[in-house]
Amino acid sequence: MADVQTETVMWDFPRALDAADVDRAATSLAGDAVWVTPDGTFRGKEQLRAYLGRLFRRAKHMRMVECGNGMMVQANRAFVEHVVAGTIGSARAEYLTLSAWELKDGKIKGIRTVYDRLSLAKQVAKGWLAKWLVDLLIGRTERGSQ
C-alpha cells in the first residue's frame, strides 16, 4: 500500500473517533483487527465496537491533535504522536498518546497505543481520597520504591 493511502486510512479512523462515531470507525478496521491499549487488548470488530462504545460513553468531546513527531508513515506501517483532549466525567483532561499502526488491504489490522494513565488519573480524580491516592502513587514513582 502506498504511503498516501496509509495516511488517508490513518486519519479517517481518528476523525471517526473525534466524532464519537462507532460505525464510521469500524469501517476502517479489518475484521480481525487487534487494538492493544492500557485499557486492555481488544480483538475483532465486535470487541472493538464494544470498547469504542464504552470509551465514547465515558469520555466526551474528545479530540486528537497531532503533535511532537506527528505522523510517520512507511509502507503499511505508521506511528503517530498526538494529544487527546476532552472531558472524562465532569473533568477536563489532556494526555499525550503514542500509537503504532499496521494496515493490510486498506484496513487497520493492528494498533498499539500507550499513554500515561497516572497523569490522566491525576487530572480526573475527584474527592480527597482519590486525589490523595493518586498523589501517593505519583510521589512513590518520583522517589522510587524506597
Q: What is the DSSP letter of 2?
A: -
Q: Are residues 102 and 45 in the same domain?
A: yes
Q: Are residues 128 and 109 in the same domain?
A: no
Q: Are residues 54 and 71 in the same domain?
A: yes
Q: Are residues 42 and 99 in the same domain?
A: yes
Query: b vs e for 108-139, b when ≥16 Cβ sit within 10 Å of the residue's Cβ?
Result: bbbbebebeeeebbbebbeeeeeeeebeeeee
Domain membership of residue 127 as a residue range: 116-146
Rounded distance, CA 1 to CA 136, Å? 48
Q: Return the pLDDT at 100.
A: 95
Q: Return the pLDDT at 61.
A: 87
Q: Are residues 92 and 134 in the same domain?
A: no
Q: Are residues 44 and 102 in the same domain?
A: yes
Q: pLDDT-derived band of residue 110, with 50, 70 and 90 as boundaries? A: very high
- In which element (H, E) is residue 67 found? strand 59-74
Q: Are residues 127 and 64 in the same domain?
A: no
Radius of gyration of the chain (CA): 17
Percent of the chain with pLDDT over 70: 95
Whichever domain contains 78, its CATH number is 3.10.450.50
Q: Are residues 73 and 92 in the same domain?
A: yes
Helices first, then strands: H and E counts in the chain: 5, 6
Q: Are residues 34 and 104 in the same domain?
A: yes
Rounded distance, CA 92 to CA 85, Å? 8
- In angstroms, how far is CA 132 from the centroid of its own chain? 26
Mean pLDDT, residues 120-129: 87
Q: Are residues 73 and 127 in the same domain?
A: no
Structural domain count, the chain: 2
Q: pLDDT-derived band of residue 66, with 50, 70 and 90 as boundaries? A: confident
pTM higher than 0.85 for the full model?
A: no
User: Is the CB of residue 20 less than 8 Å from the CB of residue 62?
Assistant: yes
Q: Are residues 78 and 94 in the same domain?
A: yes
Q: What is the pLDDT of residues 5-49, one digit of tens each?
A: 777 777 888 889 999 999 999 999 999 999 999 999 999 999 999
Percent of the chain with pLDDT over 90: 43
Q: Are residues 31 and 89 in the same domain?
A: yes
User: Is the CB of residue 95 less than 8 Å from the CB of residue 84?
Assistant: yes
How many C-beta atoms surround the C-beta of residue 31 within 10 A?
10
Q: Return the pLDDT at 25.
A: 92
